[in-house]
């Protein structure tokens, strides 16, 4: 992180940001975009630093997007703290924060959505039916508003990253999507804004997610033939359940198309589970 971070500019109006980005483009400046929902942490900082290193201008969008939350989800209580976020953005090397109000992004209810009917109802989408259409649509809007050359997303949200890459390819967005490694706590727990919903005990127990996936991966490596996906799922499930977690789903999928894997070659574990009331997602390449 940079030590002498300067004041960062906060833009709230989509039209003002689009104007700024067009001006930067006209001056031949490259733009990197890091879309976030705020409550920023080291995982977000890693994306911002990557963008700042490789672009003239780095824009961080901070927007808790209502259209990607289901009716009974945590939209109302999702942590919002723009002042602390601005500090982290400045230190990590961002130039602009785009922090629109929902009214500015959705002056009228959205009627046009980006869908991926093949993938949006699988895995996380099975339990969050409106989520991925909401994500893809807001990311498409953010791309059109901030006009980036590159956009940075975490592998942490593995299915989301895949869907965004596919959208960019299918719809010819002139934007390079960069995926970044998941930043974890020392315990192995993937850092997430939602981790703060957990009690210290739950947080400790949630380290079993990574431990379970690592155990499964090790079992797989130690064998000349790969384990079957069901065997791997059982290993992970046992570890998480022993720690008090409740599994929502565990799937082993091909990392290139996210279709269910028949073997563990080129595969990735995707899972979601609950510790207390907190829903956590994680992944690990095998
Ligand atoms: P969010 O604010 O949770 O929507 O995340 C914004 C971006 O940061 C997404 O592309 C996430 O995948 C990424 N991200 C979240 N947590 C991490 C993490 N622990 N490591 C790396 N990237 C992350």
Is 144 in the same domain as 21?
Answer: yes
Helices (H), 68-130: 82-92, 102-105, 124-127
Tell me how many domains the chain contains.
2
**What would the two tokens of residue 25 be?**
């483009």
Is 175 in the same domain as 137?
Answer: yes
Is 34 in the same domain as 175?
Answer: yes
Is 46 in the same domain as 159?
Answer: yes
Is residue 44 annotated as part of the catalytic site, yes or no? yes
Please choose, from the candidates 38, 59, 37, the residue with its C-alpha nearest in 3D space to the C-alpha of residue 48: 59
Is 3 a member of any domain? Answer: no
Supply the DSSP symbol for 264: S
Task: Give distance in angstroms: CA of 174 to centre of ligand 1.
Answer: 22
CA atoms of 193 and 64, how far apart (whole Å): 12
Task: Give distance in angstroms: CA of 266 to centre of ligand 1.
Answer: 23
Q: Is the dihedral of CA 271, 48, 29, 63 positive or negative?
A: positive
Q: What is the pLDDT along the chain (286 residues), one digit of tens a residue?
A: 444 456 799 999 999 999 999 999 999 999 999 999 999 999 999 999 999 999 999 999 999 999 999 999 999 999 999 999 999 999 999 999 999 999 999 999 999 999 999 999 999 999 999 999 999 999 999 999 999 999 999 999 999 999 999 999 999 999 999 999 999 999 999 999 999 999 999 999 999 999 999 999 988 775 645 567 788 899 999 999 999 999 999 999 999 999 998 877 889 999 999 999 999 999 999 9
Is 173 in the same domain as 198?
Answer: no
Please choose, from the candidates 14, 53, 54, the residue with its C-alpha nearest in 3D space to the C-alpha of residue 146: 14
Is 188 a member of any domain? Answer: no
Residues with Cβ within 8 Å of residue 35, at least 6 apart in sequence:
61, 63, 138, 139, 142, 151, 153
Strand, coil or helix: 260: strand
Give Cα separations from 204 to 83, 189, 200, 220 (angstroms): 29, 8, 6, 26
Bridge-based pairing state of the strands 246-254 and 176-180: unpaired
Task: Give distance in angstroms: CA of 225 to centre of ligand 1.
Answer: 34
Q: Which residues line ligand 1 (CB under 6 A)?
A: 36-37, 43-44, 46-47, 153-154, 156-157, 180, 182-183, 190-193
Is 211 in the same domain as 127?
Answer: no
* Cβ pair 142, 35 in contact under 8 A: yes
The CATH number assigned to the domain holding 40 equals 3.40.50.620
Is 134 in the same domain as 211?
Answer: no
Is 67 a member of any domain? Answer: yes
Choosing from 133, 152, 180, the residue where a domain stops is 180
- Among residues 27, 41, 44, 131, the one annotated as catalytic is 44
Choosing from 180, 205, 220, the residue where a domain stops is 180
Q: Which residues pair with 190 in a beta bridge?
A: 184
Expressed as residue numbers, the domain containing 226 is 193-285
**What would the two tokens of residue 164 be?**
């965004």
Please choose, from the candidates 187, 192, 144, the residue with its C-alpha nearest in 3D space to the C-alpha of residue 168: 144
Residue 265, pLDDT score: 82
Q: Which residues pair with 210 in a beta bridge?
A: none
Is 259 a member of any domain? Answer: yes
Using CA positions, which residue lies closest to atom 13 of ligand 1? 154
Other CB atoms closer than 10 Å to residue 214's CB: what's the count? 14
């Amino acid at each position: 992180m940079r030590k002498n971070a300067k004041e960062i500019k906060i833009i709230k109006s989509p039209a003002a940001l689009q104007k700024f980005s067009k001006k930067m483009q006209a001056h031949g400046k490259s733009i990197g975009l890091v879309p976030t929902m705020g409550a920023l942490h080291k995982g977000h900082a890693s994306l911002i630093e990557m963008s700042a290193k490789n672009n003239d201008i780095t824009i961080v969008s901070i927007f808790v997007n209502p259209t990607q939350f289901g009716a009974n989800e945590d939209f109302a209580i999702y942590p919002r703290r723009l002042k602390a976020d601005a500090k982290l953005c400045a230190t990590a090397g961002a130039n602009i924060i785009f922090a629109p109000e929902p009214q500015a992004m959705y002056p009228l209810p959205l009627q046009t959505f980006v869908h991926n009917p093949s993938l949006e109802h699988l895995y996380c989408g099975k339990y969050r039916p409106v989520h991925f259409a909401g994500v893809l649509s807001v990311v498409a809007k953010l791309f059109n508003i901030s006009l980036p050359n590159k956009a940075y997303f975490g592998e942490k949200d593995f299915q989301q990253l895949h869907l965004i890459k596919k959208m960019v390819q299918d719809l010819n967005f002139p934007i390079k999507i960069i995926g970044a490694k998941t930043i974890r706590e020392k315990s192995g727990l993937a850092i997430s804004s939602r981790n703060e919903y957990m009690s210290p005990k739950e947080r400790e127990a949630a380290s079993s997610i990574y431990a379970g996936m690592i155990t499964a991966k090790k079992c797989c490596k130690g064998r000349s033939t790969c384990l079957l996906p069901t065997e791997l799922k059982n290993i992970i499930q046992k570890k998480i359940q022993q720690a008090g977690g409740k599994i929502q789903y565990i799937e082993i999928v091909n990392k290139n198309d996210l279709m269910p894997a028949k073997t563990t070659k080129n595969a990735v574990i995707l899972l979601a589970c609950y510790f207390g009331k907190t829903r956590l997602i994680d992944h690990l390449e095998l």
